[in-house]
Structure 1
Amino acid sequence: MPHGQAKAASAHAEGQQHPIKLYLVVWGWLFILSACSYLVDYVGLQGYLRWSLILLFMILKAGLIVAVFMHMAWERLAFAYAIILPPVLVLVFVAMMVFESDYTLLSRTLFFGAAP
C-alpha cells in the first residue's frame, strides 16, 4: 500500500479532528443568535416582523448546528443537498399555500360578501 493511501486509511480510522477554536466560535455565534432572539421579545416587537426575526434566528442556529456539530459542512455536496433540499422545498410550498389562501379568502369575500 503506497504511503498516501496508508496515511488516508489511518486518518479515516482515527476520525477527523477539528480545532477547538471552531467549536468555540460556533458556540459564540449560537449565544449571540439566542440573545438576539430573546431581544426580539424583550423589545416588544409585534406582528410579522417579530415572527420573521424569530424564524430567521432559529434557521441560522439550526444551520450552524447542522453544518458544524453534525459535520454536514464536510460531507459531499450531493449528500448535503439530499438532507437540506426537502425542508427548503417544504417551506417554499408552505409559502405558496399562504399566498393562495390569501387569494382564496379575498375572492370569497368579494363574490360571496362578508359574513353576517
Structure 2
Amino acid sequence: MEHPSAAHEGQHHPIGLYLKVWGYLFLLSAMSYMVDYLHMQGIVRWTLIILFMLLKAGLILSIFMHLAWERLSLIYAILVPPLVLLVLVRIMTIEANYAFWTRAIFMGGGG
C-alpha cells in the first residue's frame, strides 16, 4: 500500500516566486521592446536584444524548468553541449573567413 503523502512528494515553490519571475520576464520584454521603440541602431541594438534574450532564457531555464534546484552535474549536462557547439561554430566561422580571403588573395577572386 502506498504511503498517503507519496502522491504529494516533490518540490513545492511559493506562487510568489513564479509571479516575481513573470514580472521580471515582462520587464525584460518591455526593455527589449524599448530598444526598437527608441530606434537604437547598430551594435548597441543587437547587444541589448541578445542580452535581454539571454536573461529571459536564463530565468525560464532556472525557474520554470527547475534547473535552479537540480544537481550541478545535470545543469552541466544540459548547458555545456550548446555552449561547446557555439564555440565550434565560431571556430568554423573564423576558418571560413580565412579560407575565403586566402582564396581571394592568392587565386584572384574568391567569389
TM-score strictly above 0.5: yes
Aligned to 2:22: 27
Q: How far 1:81 sits from its partner (Å)?
A: 0.8
Alpha-carbon distance change, 110 to 46 in structure 1, aligned in 2, over 3 angstroms? farther
Structure 1 or 2: larger helix share?
A: 1
TM-score (norm 2): 0.77
TM-score (norm 1): 0.75
Q: In percent, how many aligned pairs have the same letter? A: 57
Q: How far 1:64 sits from its partner (Å)?
A: 0.6
Of the three residues 92, 98, 101, the one matched with 1:97 is 92
Of the three residues 21, 35, 42, the one matched with 2:37 is 42
| d(CA) in 1 for partners of 2:39, 2:87 | 28
Q: Unpaired runs of 5+ in structure 2?
A: none
Q: How many aligned residue pairs are there?
A: 108
| d(CA) in 2 for partners of 1:18, 1:73 | 12
Deviations 1:56-77 (A, max 9, x none): 2212111110100111100111
Q: How far 1:115 sits from its partner (Å)?
A: 6.3
